[in-house]
Chains A and B, each alone.
Chain A
Amino acid sequence: MFLKFDNISFSYGEDLAINDVSFEMNKGEIVGLIGANGSGKTTAILNIIKYLQPRSGKIYVKGIDILKLKNENFPVSYIPDDPIFYDELTMLEHFHFLKALYPDNELTIEYLIDKLELHPHLQKVPSALSKGTKQKLLIALSLLRDYEILIADEPFNGLDPKQISIFKDTLLNCKKLGKAVLLSTHLLDMVDGLCDKYILLKDGKRIAYGTKKEIIKMHNLNTDITLEQIYLTLIERVE
């Protein structure tokens, strides 16, 4: 097991945002973190990237507590829901800055620019970019790092259908390369069939976990059901 999210609870003051949630990820696996707005997806992710620290439970990467991992060898790359950039750097400068910091990554800047069609925006600063282009820049930056786990929080926001398809291909390529991908979204049709496993969250609690088949079997659902239907049925049952 590559990443272990072990009985994590986290609260913002008195509000319990994640309640005793556990899941595991292996290398070469795409895991979907599914839930409505406010279900605890982003909080779970912020715990993995060490922005937040759990109230109880631990997160392990290759058996090591993530809080003990240093910046120099933190194996996570992250596509945040809220774009974060260096305000004063242009898009091309962002690429060169990260490329200098991660010289061992084999992806070239030119490849990413071509693949994500970023040519017209290279000399623009992030505040001058459209929402979709910001998202593409975030994706490109995350791929330029050296990482073993890619975490993407609502990565489809602002992307057009062609870019969504390119991004899905990129994720499948990550999987082929043996990377673990954690994909958080509330757009269920986007990830139906893409992920190997799913974690369904509701109000900070895990309501289902496993492959689609496992979830269907465990909860006695119809076999030809979509992910969206699974989610809605399980939500209804919990309520």
Chain B
Amino acid sequence: MYFFILKHRLRTTKGILKHFWTSFIGLIAVSGYFLAQFYSKVLNGGIGFELSEKNIFYFLIFCIALNGFRILLKKQPIITLNAATVHYLYFTEYFKQILIFEYVWMFIKTLFVTFVISGIISGFELNQVFLRYFLLILGYMFVGVLLAWSRYHVLKGKLKLVIILCYIVTSIVFVAEIGIISLVLNYSLLLFWICYVIFKLELNLAKYIKDTAFIDETNSASSQFNLAKMSQMAIENVAKKKHKFFLYHFPLKKDNAVFYKSILELIRTGNSVWGLILFLFLMGFLFYRTPVFSIIPIFGGISALATTGALSLIMMTYINIGEILKKHAITLVKKHKQGLFIPLGRQKIIFSYLIVSILIFAILAFFTGLIFESKFFVVLLFYIMFIVIFALDFYITLIESRISKVSNKVMPIILFMLGFIFFI
């Protein structure tokens, strides 16, 4: 039985890797490079170079933040089993053993992370410093895992308070005293929580099955490269998030309802999308204004190539935001056509979305001007040209003109080039 559970997990992982290996390699390469740069240039670390106390402190703060996220914020369980496994085996003798395997697997993963962090701190030398931090961080991080796991299943009551108190106390001692007190405290708590999760913890079964079923579905869609399902799940997942701001908080009228709806759609676009867009813009800034990429011979500093790289990333941000707005407008028109009628012509819908575009691109143009230290009238001219061409593209797409297929390919290229005309 254990073999089948492992086989299922391996098969899913294999499917995901098969379809996304290029993305994974790209991500590992980029983040690896970025972290290596950060380690050597900002932290002045390296093999044989122990970090300064100040920089070690930052690493400890990172560990505290990670534990804090896991214990206080993370909504999904830190240990995930297949939903079917939980459903069918929960009331059997096997379930406890499976969970213990999972705890051990989680411990091995924590061991690996701790090894890397301690290595970074000690300059990857197996000395006393390494051993001290290794033991300390391992204890603290694994207590964090068990606290997060318990916190996930315990929704309220005194135990929740105890878990939060444990986190606060261990975190304070963790940064305040790198020695025996911290070690004794963490390992005593570790022993207590190991006993607790093995012998006492009752799983919040309904919540756990619901969450793991969602994770399974996502993994299964990824491993089969079912893009339609992945996209639908992403939309539904974003939509299901609890909101604090609602459409009816705006002063809705017939003339502005679509405008406010489009604003709300943008606000509710998934964090990952905004994260990616912010990342592109930030990378553009780093390329042009900082020496972070200077060890790559062709980039870094205010050279023509650095400008090219920076502009490419920034213009990609513009294009992506434009595409998001277009997609929202197309969806509205498509749903109208399917029967979710609204009493507005296409011109009115296009106009509403264009106002939103004008506002957003004004903000982007302002920051682009700041990054490239451009003159006001250059930025203004770029902005006006961009809006005019974008509006034309938007219009052609929305009226489903015969040339819209060509326009969808050509217009983004023209918009992309516009940045190079004005900022180089």
Contact = CB atoms under 8 A, between A and B. Distances in A.
Contact of A127 (B240, B268, B339, B340): B240
A78 interface: yes
Interface stretch (A8-16, A80-88, A165-173, A188-196): A80-88
Nearest to A79: B339
A49 to B, nearest CB: 5
Nearest to B251: A100
B248 A96 contact: yes
Give chain B's interface residue range (CB within 8 Å of chain A): 20 to 34
Interface string B232-248: 00011011101100111
A164 interface: no
Given A71-B343, A72-B343, A97-B247, A128 B338 contact: no
A76 B336 CA distance: 12
A90 B242 CA distance: 10
Given A96-B248, A97-B252, A100-B253, A89 B261 contact: yes
B345 A49 contact: no
Contact of B340 (A70, A72, A84, A93): A84
A77 B346 CA distance: 18
Give chain A's interface residue range (CB within 8 Å of chain B): 35 or more
Across the A-B interface, the 3 shortest Cβ-Cβ residue pairs = A100-B252, A93-B247, A96-B248
Contacts of A125: 236, 239-240
B116 to A, nearest CB: 40
B175 to A, nearest CB: 41
Contact of A49 (B239, B254, B339): B339
A71 B345 CA distance: 6
A141 B339 CA distance: 11
A103 B345 contact: no
Interface string A113-135: 00000000001011110000000
Interface in B333-383: 335-346
Contacts of B265: 88
B240 A96 contact: no
7 contacts: A71-B346, A80-B339, A88-B235, A88-B268, A93-B247, A126-B239, A127-B236
A93 B246 contact: yes
A76 B335 contact: no
Interface of B: 235-236, 238-240, 242-243, 246-248, 252-254, 256-257, 261, 264-265, 268, 332, 335-346
A78 to B, nearest CB: 4
Contacts of A92: 246, 248
Nearest to B265: A88
A145 interface: yes
A86 B335 contact: yes
Contacts of B242: 123
B325 to A, nearest CB: 14
Contact of B341 (A74, A86, A89): A74
A78 B339 contact: yes
Interface in A87-116: 87-90, 92-93, 96-103
A27 B257 CA distance: 31
A101 B239 contact: no
A39 B93 CA distance: 55
Contacts of B341: 49, 71, 74, 76-78, 145
Contacts of A89: 247, 261, 264
Given A71-B343, A101-B342, A145-B341, 18 more contacts: A71-B345, A78-B339, A84-B340, A88-B238, A89-B264, A92-B246, A92-B248, A96-B247, A96-B248, A97-B257, A98-B342, A102-B254, A123-B242, A125-B240, A127-B239, A128-B239, A145-B343, A146-B343
A51 B264 CA distance: 27
Contacts of A86: 261, 332, 335, 340
B243 A90 contact: yes
Contacts of A141: 340
B210 to A, nearest CB: 12
A50 B337 CA distance: 7
A222 interface: no
A80 B335 CA distance: 11
B300 to A, nearest CB: 41
A71 B347 CA distance: 11
B343 A103 contact: no
Nearest to B252: A100
A73 interface: yes
